[in-house]
Amino acid sequence: MRGPATSSARGGFLDLLSCVPSLRIFRIFRIVRAVRIVPRLGGPRVFCELRQELASGALYLVILVGITVLEICWLLELRFEEYEPGANITTAGDALWWGYVTATTVGYGDQYPVTTGGRLTGLIMLTVGVALFATFSGFLANLFLSPRTANKKETPPDVGELRALLDQQDETTRRLRAKLAQLEQAG
């Protein structure tokens, strides 16, 4: 019979495996563990807060989309440009630098695409970069220019949720005491 201790130890072992550089496939276990932990830590409360604070939620969404598009675009750019003759984006570092400079609309000109696929990727990166920084600038302007509201009252925690957490804590304490008693008898 597998109990919580076995499950927890297995999760820790998988976390350890996910940290080994040559075993990259095990990094998926980090995501699985995060998905399992979020509901216990109040996942619905996070979504409720995001719903109440639409501006913050929009900012977080735009940042997430921006980072995701940056990663996808610099990988695509590297794929298109890496082996092209005359290309100056030939390493992952070059592609990441190009993506960031393009997204921020700085455009130093030291890295630029020479292929059609690379230029189309640049169009996507420019469009997303302008949208990302326009949204971020609007959020900051709103933050600085809007009047401060009075202290918001926090919603009290759900009594049922607190009882469930206390029950879990009591059960865990009981198991730990039993395990400690076994170890003391054995040793």
Q: What domains are defined for the chain?
A: 12-41 (no CATH), 54-144 (1.10.287.70)
Quick one: pLDDT band at residue 41, thresholds 50, 70, 90? low
DSSP string, 75-101: HHHHHHHTT-TT-S--SHHHHHHHHHH
What would the two tokens of residue 27 be?
């990094």
Q: What share of the chain has pLDDT > 70, as a percent?
A: 75
pLDDT reported for residue 35: 73
pLDDT reported for residue 128: 85
Q: Is the pLDDT of residue 179 over 80?
A: yes
CB 82 within 8 A of CB 111: no
Q: Is the pLDDT of residue 29 over 70?
A: yes
pLDDT tens digits for range 148-160: 655 555 667 778 8
pLDDT reported for residue 115: 94
> Of 123, 115, 125, 138, whose CA–CA distance to 59 is shortest?
138
15-44 burial, b if ≥16 CB within 10 A, otherwise e?
eeebeeeeeeeeeebeeeeeeeeeeeeeee
28 CA to centre of own chain: 13
- Whether pTM exceeds 0.85: no
More confident position, 76 or 137: 76
Residue 17 has, within 13 A of its CA and on its CB side, a CA count of: 12
Quick one: pLDDT band at residue 5, thresholds 50, 70, 90? very low
More confident position, 29 or 178: 178
Positive or negative torsion for Cα 176, 177, 183, 187: positive
72 CA to centre of own chain: 15
pLDDT tens digits for range 53-106: 666 667 777 778 888 888 899 899 999 999 999 999 999 889 989 988 988 888
